[in-house]
Structure 1
């Protein structure tokens, strides 16, 4: 069941949201970034990801997010490994409502194999790019919450 905008804003104001972020590599060892269209983290480079919905299993959420963000319908959590649990704190919210911050608890998953170059969906991101871990760490246009995934050396695929 999807919430009305008012009810969802109330939820954002009252509780942390749970999300899955995808750390996606290509065959060259670069990582996928999308330029965010929506708040929070609007107008910055970010890894693909999305919220888990109430009543949705982690497996279903993972499949839906991979499909919505990457256009793949055949990947499951078995194709990824849990990279870590992170907190993302934002001063704004998806609606731009003043005075309402957003708190995410994020499960970062790294896909276990390289993703092919393709035309990724443009619903959440206006553009995509591949970047090395060192490029990501040094780029102020990459959101700080995404840079946090690359603070240590990334293991090879």
Structure 2
């Protein structure tokens, strides 16, 4: 892990690679969490995290799915949805530093989830696609995952 000052320099000067999971249940609802941290603080967002240096993508998916959602990747077959870019005017390290993510989105279907972590999100909600699209609480980058034929 990088110390905060080094990571601040990284965020200020390079894009970060992240993985987000679009989690659907049997009722075709999508799981979103209310973000505690910047960027996208207080918005409903999919669950995910960044890829660490020297971490293979398969290992990152496994770690993020376990840490952020409490699921074992061996029980799921994440479907790749595309590459997306997220640009924010702030960052969790400093309000005056922008954040640029290159995001790899994956979708999984679940039957049941319990005990979701509270480190990144303080509450969770399941929304139907039309509710997600119509909500002002859902971040626009989450809505991009559902625009057909477009990768931003």
Q: TM-score range by the shorter chain?
A: over 0.9
Length, aligned pairs only: 149
Q: In 1, Cα distance between the equivalents of 2:141 and 2:36?
A: 16
Q: Report runs of 4+ in structure 1 exceeding 3 Å deviation.
A: none
Unaligned runs of 5+ in 2: none
Whether 2:20 is the aligned partner of 1:21: answer yes
Q: Which residue of 2 aligns with 1:64?
A: 63
Query: 130, 145, 149: which one pairs with 2:145?
Result: 149
Whether 2:53 is the aligned partner of 1:54: answer yes
1:82-97 pair list within 5 angstroms:
82-95=80-93, 97=94
Q: Does the 8 A contact of 1:34 with 1:128 survive in 2?
A: yes
Flag the 1:137–1:71 CA change in 2: closer, same or farther, 3 A.
same
Q: In 2, Cα distance between the equivalents of 1:92 and 1:77?
A: 36
CA RMSD of aligned residues (A): 1.6
Give the TM-score normalised by structure 1: 0.90
Give the TM-score normalised by structure 2: 0.93
1:127 match: secondary structure: strand
